[in-house]
Amino acid sequence: MILQINFKLNVPASEYESIGRSVARAFADVPGLIWKIWILNEATQEAGGIYLFDGPGSRDAFLNGPLVAQMKGLTAIRDITVKQFQVMADVTAVTRGPVGASAVARA
Ordered by start, the domain boundaries in the chain are: 2-106
Q: How many CA atoms lie within 13 Å of 11's alpha carbon, on the beta-carbon side?
A: 12
| CATH code matching the domain that covers 2-106, chosen among 3.90.550.10, 3.30.70.100, 1.20.58.220, 3.30.870.10 | 3.30.70.100
> Would you state the pLDDT for residue 52?
95
What value does the mean pLDDT take over residues 71-87?
A: 95
Contacts of 57 (CB under 8 A, 6+ apart): 32
Q: What is the pTM of this model?
A: 0.86
Say whether pLDDT at 103 is over 60.
Answer: no
| Residues 46, 53 contacting (CB under 8 angstroms) | no
> Would you state the pLDDT for residue 1?
86
Question: Residues 42-75: pLDDT tens digits?
Answer: 999 999 999 999 999 999 999 999 999 999 999 9
Say whether pLDDT at 84 is over 70.
Answer: yes
| Residues 63, 14 contacting (CB under 8 angstroms) | no
CA 95 to chain centre: 21
> Would you state the pLDDT for residue 104?
46
Mean pLDDT of the chain: 92
